[in-house]
Structure 1
């Protein structure tokens, strides 16, 4: 996107987003996600942590968006939120000693002198080169350099997203090139582009907004999504089909977004096959639920619909809370050995989001079922 269009797009989308329009905020996320993840990565030097922090920054921005009076203040405000969260993350890592399960695991693995597959797959050459570049540069140059490659090497966009002049961006790029050898810079560019958040990142954040929606905007979010997505499917099964259809693409995108990092760099073929099976299972489950809702539209009574919804919710909960942790167990063992504090912090954050996500999913599925049963006349309150 042209740099001058970034401001125009933000001014167009922010008023609607402040009123609770999730789709408008999703377009804002797509505009800013490279900048926010890049700022977090420049500070933390950790791709996984940078994406977690970026999600938290966008969610915090969503909750506080109605308080923002001037649209032109949005980008500086969001950048400051991101930097504060990233620095809090670093401080939390420094304060946390390795205790409990992490310490026990480290002792256990240290006692085993045979190299494991996880130990042989530490960092790729590209990642190691990128970490060398990041370590060699001051923080402001890291931000500029990461965003320069993620934004297609266009300095006007970088300047706009970071609140700088084009001349300042060019000066910092020139300074970065003085610090870093040419061959390292090329590998860093590949790393920056390869770790940039995909379109699924915005979908995943949008999926969390049902939990984090501002009180004033919550009604608009729910009614808006139901009205838009439900038009073509209300005939099938009332409002529940509308809720289901609205969440189909979002749910599938969130499934694959949740495992995109591990799929990009699997420990081995075994983990990759298991992750693909997990993604296909959840995608199939979501599509089967939508098809089942449509098929049951001609079945009288409320029990079949309740049983289908219960089976769907149980399947999603089992896959997320039981199957996926087993798939990732070996990876977590490796990460705990290499970076116990950071890994424990990521695991806690992921556990919190998983818990809230499952609660929100169960609540929305139950509300959609109840609304559909009432509107179709199958159930009287």
Structure 2
């Protein structure tokens, strides 16, 4: 058993139970292998790191599907290979850019490259394409890892799940394909392009935002963690999901308020209804922010439950107590004008209100409990 396999055997049980620090140690031990697998396919250093990050996050969220710890590294390698091939099929040959990249850079506290640094990065990417393309496809992973893992064919064999003889054969074919000067350049490139502590830090930061193992969906899933390729994209996806939720809540509050204000009898009633709608809107925003903070800093079930019950309780109180009180004078006038019609209208409103309250409680509380179960918190 290699040192990496031994570390995985020790750390994986805790990681499967949601221990992010344990999984972070697995990331540090396996990142050379995973990025080498992706780089051998994509021939793009930046893309290989994005893909490796996605592979680790995908593995993190599906750890509970893995029954045998000895299968972890082969499983992780296959995830990386599949993602890298998907990357090529989709024609995504450029590194992450746009808003996601800006967020990633800001969170990683990585200053923008100078023109000289950008030139060096471009040269490195061109060298990657040139050097890796010159190798037989089956030898690329082995040679990259050979230079990243202290030039030990035995270590490469353990990391790739091959025999030492098979690795030596692949290394021999690679050496025959490259001139001596290119082989020296390749060795430097492989070592220089290996991920360092910054890579581990980015993945570890992403784990604090991603939902725990086995949590694919639910109220506690913040952003599209499995599909995100970098910490920046995770944060961007989270912001997008939160924005949709907030906008949806505001839309419902605004439409309800418009209908109520249309028949308001005076400014006093309008102010009361507007104030109630404002409280509902602030409650919605507060709930979303609270859930984001809870997912970030707390791994239990109590605080999500308290936040959910407080949110539902506030909305129900405003809808079933405060707003009817604000409209009491209007309803009294309607009863004076046409008692029969007003009574029928009140009955319909009471039925609709009760049905809405029951459905809201069932789906709201049920969704909260389901989210806690799916996320592994309950």
Following superposition, the deviation at residue 217 of structure 1 comes to 8.1
Following superposition, the deviation at residue 9 of structure 1 comes to 1.4
Q: Match for residue 46 of structure 1? A: 44
CA distance in structure 2 between the partners assigned to 1:367 and 1:161 by the alignment: 37
Q: Match for residue 355 of structure 1? A: 236
Match of 1:60 among 58, 72, 77: 58
**What are the residue-to-residue correspondences of 1:151-230 with 2, within 5 Å?**
151-214=149-212
CA distance in structure 2 between the partners assigned to 1:348 and 1:22 by the alignment: 18
CA distance in structure 2 between the partners assigned to 1:134 and 1:363 by the alignment: 48
**What are the residue-to-residue correspondences of 1:324-339 with 2, within 5 Å?**
none
Following superposition, the deviation at residue 10 of structure 1 comes to 1.2
1:354–1:216 distance in 2 versus 1, CA, 3 Å: closer
Return 5+ residue gaps in structure 1 as ranges.
97-116, 219-346, 372-380
Which secondary structure does the structure 1 equivalent of 2:141 belong to?
helix
Q: Deviations over 1:41-62 (max 9, x none)?
A: 1101111110000000000000
Which secondary structure does the structure 1 equivalent of 2:212 belong to?
coil
Match of 2:15 among 17, 21, 32: 17
Q: Match for residue 100 of structure 2? A: none
Q: Match for residue 137 of structure 2? A: 139
Relative to the length of structure 2, the TM-score reads 0.52
Following superposition, the deviation at residue 138 of structure 1 comes to 2.5
**What are the residue-to-residue correspondences of 1:299-310 with 2, within 5 Å?**
none
Return 5+ residue gaps in structure 2 as ranges.
95-114, 217-227, 243-287, 299-309, 311-378
Following superposition, the deviation at residue 133 of structure 1 comes to 2.1
Contact 2:11 2:26 in 1 (8 A): yes
Q: Deviations over 1:172-215 (max 9, x none)?
A: 11100000001011111111111110022112111111332336
Following superposition, the deviation at residue 94 of structure 1 comes to 7.1
1:357–1:27 distance in 2 versus 1, CA, 3 Å: farther
Q: Deviations over 1:54-87 (max 9, x none)?
A: 0000000000001100111111111110000000
**What are the residue-to-residue correspondences of 1:289-328 with 2, within 5 Å?**
none
Structure showing greater radius of gyration is: 2
CA distance in structure 2 between the partners assigned to 1:178 and 1:135 by the alignment: 14
**What are the residue-to-residue correspondences of 1:81-160 with 2, within 5 Å?**
81-93=79-91, 121=119, 127-160=125-158
CA distance in structure 2 between the partners assigned to 1:19 and 1:348 by the alignment: 23
Contact 2:157 2:163 in 1 (8 A): yes
CA distance in structure 2 between the partners assigned to 1:370 and 1:186 by the alignment: 47
Following superposition, the deviation at residue 129 of structure 1 comes to 4.0
Match of 2:72 among 71, 74, 98: 74
1:350–1:23 distance in 2 versus 1, CA, 3 Å: closer
Following superposition, the deviation at residue 142 of structure 1 comes to 0.6
CA distance in structure 1 between the partners assigned to 2:163 and 2:3 by the alignment: 16
Relative to the length of structure 1, the TM-score reads 0.51
Contact 1:159 1:166 in 2 (8 A): yes
Counting matched residue pairs gives 224
Contact 1:16 1:24 in 2 (8 A): yes
Q: Deviations over 1:148-171 (max 9, x none)?
A: 111121112111111111111111
Which secondary structure does the structure 1 equivalent of 2:203 belong to?
helix
